[in-house]
Amino acid sequence: MSHSLGIVIESLVAVLLLLTIGYCMLLNKRLKRLKADEHSLKATIAELITATEIAERAIGGLKHTVRDVNENLGSQLAAATQMAGHLKGMLAEGDGVIRRLSKIAIAARPSQEAEPAAPRISTAKAVAAAAEAFSERRKASGLAA
């Protein structure tokens, strides 16, 4: 019996050794896969670091561009405000000139009761004709600009 007990124990140890060898082979495969994943992960991390550095440089460039644009836009906005004021003044002057020209045109228009056969001229044509006559009178008197 002691002999059969020894064989059973040795058989059990042999089976356990075979299981250990199988498990070691499985662990070896997993370690190889892990090493391969480690290399690909290192490559991915290196690419990510490179992309981050490029993005940081691009952000720095964008900040510089925004600063330049802000300064340029501020000066252009000030110039535009000044130009708008100038144009507003010129429009007011032009409006005054139009009012005076229309008064001149109304005054220069012949009376319709005196000449009933004369054709009716449109207001725009009358204003243009009066303005032309006014400028001719100014030129003749030496007051033209």
Is residue 16 assigned to a domain? yes
Is residue 96 assigned to a domain? yes
Q: HSE of 70 in the Cβ direction (CA atoms, 13 Å)? A: 6
What's the predicted TM-score (pTM) here? 0.39
Is residue 5 assigned to a domain? no
What pLDDT digit, counting tens, does each position of 61-111 carry? Answer: 999 999 999 889 988 999 999 999 999 999 888 888 888 888 888 887 766
Buried b (16+ CB within 10 A) or exposed e, 82-104: eeeeeeeeeeeeeeeeeeebeeb
What pLDDT digit, counting tens, does each position of 11-39 carry? Answer: 999 999 999 999 999 999 999 999 988 88
Is residue 88 assigned to a domain? yes
Is residue 1 assigned to a domain? no
What pLDDT digit, counting tens, does each position of 45-66 carry? Answer: 999 999 999 999 999 999 999 9
**Residue 12, pLDDT score:** 94
Is residue 6 assigned to a domain? no
Number of domains in the chain: 1
Is residue 114 assigned to a domain? no
Is residue 7 assigned to a domain? no
Write the CB contacts of 108 (distance below 8 Å, at least 6 apart in sequence).
Answer: 126, 129, 130, 133
